[in-house]
Amino acid sequence: MSLKKLTIFDTTLRDGEQGEGISFTVKDKLKITQLLDTLGVHYIEGGWPGSNPKAVDYFKGVQELSLTHAKVAAFGSTRRAGKTVETDLSIQALIHAETPVVVIFGKSWDFHVTHALKIELPENLALIADSVRYLKANNKEVFYDAEHFFDGFKHNPKYALETLSAAQSEGADILCLCDTNGGCLPSEIYDMVTAIKKAFPKTTIGIHTHNDAGMAVANSIAAVDAGATHIQGTLNGYGERCGNANLSTLIPTLVLKMGIDCIPKDKLVHLASVSHRLDEIANVTHNHFLPYVGKSAFAHKGGVHVSAILKHPETYEHVNPELVGNSQRVLISELSGLSNLIHKTKEMGIDIDPKNEKLKTALDEIKSKEHAGYQYEEAEASLELLLRRILFDQKSVFDLISYKVVNAQRDSETCEIESILKLKLGAHVAHIAADGNGPVSALDHALRKALLPHFPEIDSVRLVDYKVRVLNSKDGTNAKVKVLIECKDHEHIWGTIGVSENIIEASWLALADCYEYKLLVLDPSKK
């Protein structure tokens, strides 16, 4: 394949926010803009100033950012019927957004013109032409989004082409073809983009796809194969219904597999971390199974696979995970054998003879814990504590005698939460009371108070993540829950797990492991 050049247009902040459960504050949007700039995308679509007051604030705020690479774009529709470009508020909002780039969408599908806009077909051509002409006259780089282009082209190819001509003849810089309903297949997209490229050989053709048939990425690639050189998508695939084309999948495929010049290779190594940070900002659960950037994308579980990749990673890895900032992982599970466990002990720096019989005991214990709902894939600190207890009879630093948590709520205002913790620390017994915002924070505060006088090093420990997962949710409030806690100090990040029918007990188990791991594994010299 020849080395082509194409531009990446991210619409996470506009089309992405149409996804269920996605909502950004202006501050979020500015943070994401900076993140996307780090990655080296060419354009960032910030919002629709004509429809959303938040977008107006964003376009003000974004002028304070100094972006190194990306140009910011504002989105809107062609002028309304019955308005002129001067009296159409949406068009005027585009001008006031003061972005170098403006995207306007118009109708390509005759059915939408007559049934949604309820105007005659020629009038729609005038809306498009007038809007593009006016924005070009205002010195904007203008991208024309042909909404429902492919469905329109299937139904009435002549009219669909006329809508593109209306935009192109007024100087639109890009004609972007949209599969708005996301129902097309790659072979169709290839044929239609080929036809459009033939009709407009000198105009840059863009592609904007949705994932309703699971084809958003494949359709974008098919369009590139047919001559498109501008791709619109969202990082992590956020978007209306099933989402937009996922740029975190598309970009590495373009760069690493197709040799296309779009994102510099030295920026590509940020891809996984940018993808994860975006999920964090959006406050949605990271999809572990995402190509390239997902936590599971290079995670090997099958015994056959594990023994092979340890010798030759290319046997079961399609690309080197480091190129996209991800890494290889070996999973310990019920399906995995001793060889995975031995590999894991090596990863952890645990020095043990692979023939030691206690490894078998440890594997059995792991399997029985997993049967009870434990899962160590995200809680390797708890796994390591378990292994050290079994393999080396490692003793705990502290042992629980008892705890009590009292949560007293009076009407919806006043709430008092107290914990009382009794802990054995060697020869000493600590008996501590503390309060908190909730039962778990009250326990955490008591545990810290108990440990600090003896182990000042735990002062640097911070809980950075707390996750709760109901295991057998059909049992309602009697369900078993799994709590995952992530901690950090100045140098390390580690994860622990607790499982119980009682959420407080599950949280306690994970909390206790957090501090045990800090004291036994990270700072062992002091014990």
Positions 222 through 251 that interact with its own copies (CB under 8 A):
222, 225, 237, 240-243, 246, 249-250
Q: Which of 16, 40, 152, 294 binds its own copies (CB under 8 A)?
A: 294
Number of residues that this document lists for the chain: 527
Q: Quick check: helix, strand or coil at residue 12?
A: coil
The separation between CA 394 and the C-alpha centre of its own chain, rounded to angstroms, equals: 39
Contact between 2 and its own copies per CB under 8 A: no
Scanning 378-438, the segments in alpha helix (DSSP H) are 380-392
For residue 55, the minimal CB distance to its own copies (Å) is 10
Nearer to its own copies, 57 or 370 (CB): 370
| Burial zone of 66 (CB within 10 Å; 0-12 exposed, 13-18 middle, 19+ buried) | exposed
Nearer to its own copies, 318 or 526 (CB): 318
**How many helices (H) and strands (E) are present in the chain, helices listed first?**
18, 16
Q: How far is CA 456 from CA 93, 385, 460, in A?
A: 57, 21, 8
Contact between 114 and its own copies per CB under 8 A: no
For residue 241, the minimal CB distance to its own copies (Å) is 6
Nearer to its own copies, 67 or 258 (CB): 258
Backbone angles phi and psi of 430, in degrees to 5: -100, 135
For residue 308, the minimal CB distance to its own copies (Å) is 5
With CB under 8 A, what is the number of residues at the site for its own copies? 127
For residue 260, the minimal CB distance to its own copies (Å) is 12
Contact between 87 and its own copies per CB under 8 A: no
Positions 377 through 396 that interact with its own copies (CB under 8 A): 377
Nearer to its own copies, 81 or 258 (CB): 258
Contact between 435 and its own copies per CB under 8 A: no
For residue 431, the minimal CB distance to its own copies (Å) is 14
For residue 290, the minimal CB distance to its own copies (Å) is 7
Q: How far is CA 473 from CA 440, 470, 506, in A?
A: 21, 5, 15
Contact between 186 and its own copies per CB under 8 A: yes
> CA angle, 359 as apex, 354 and 362 as ends, to 5°?
155
Contact between 463 and its own copies per CB under 8 A: yes
Rounded Cα distance, 426 and 397, in Å: 7
Positions 32 through 51 that interact with its own copies (CB under 8 A): 51
Rounded Cα distance, 200 and 193, in Å: 10
Contact between 199 and its own copies per CB under 8 A: no
Rounded Cα distance, 94 and 99, in Å: 8
Contact 457/523 with Cβ under 8 angstroms?
yes
Positions 120 through 179 that interact with its own copies (CB under 8 A): none
Of 256, 257, 237, 259, the closest CA to residue 246 belongs to 237
Contact between 372 and its own copies per CB under 8 A: no
Which one of 56-64, 196-204, 205-213, 262-270 is the stretch in contact with its own copies (CB under 8 A)?
A: 205-213
Q: How far is CA 488 from CA 294, 388, 461, 491, 522, in A?
A: 22, 21, 6, 7, 11
- The interface mask with its own copies, positions 298-337, x = CB under 8 A, is xxxxxx-x--x--xx--xxxxx-----------x-xxx--
Rounded Cα distance, 380 and 359, in Å: 17
Rounded Cα distance, 391 and 405, in Å: 34
Nearer to its own copies, 2 or 478 (CB): 478
Positions 265 through 284 that interact with its own copies (CB under 8 A): 280, 283
| Burial zone of 112 (CB within 10 Å; 0-12 exposed, 13-18 middle, 19+ buried) | middle
Q: Quick check: helix, strand or coil at residue 274?
A: helix
Contact between 23 and its own copies per CB under 8 A: yes
Nearer to its own copies, 123 or 334 (CB): 334
For residue 60, the minimal CB distance to its own copies (Å) is 19
For residue 222, the minimal CB distance to its own copies (Å) is 7
Contact between 430 and its own copies per CB under 8 A: no
For residue 62, the minimal CB distance to its own copies (Å) is 19
For residue 66, the minimal CB distance to its own copies (Å) is 26
Nearer to its own copies, 18 or 203 (CB): 18
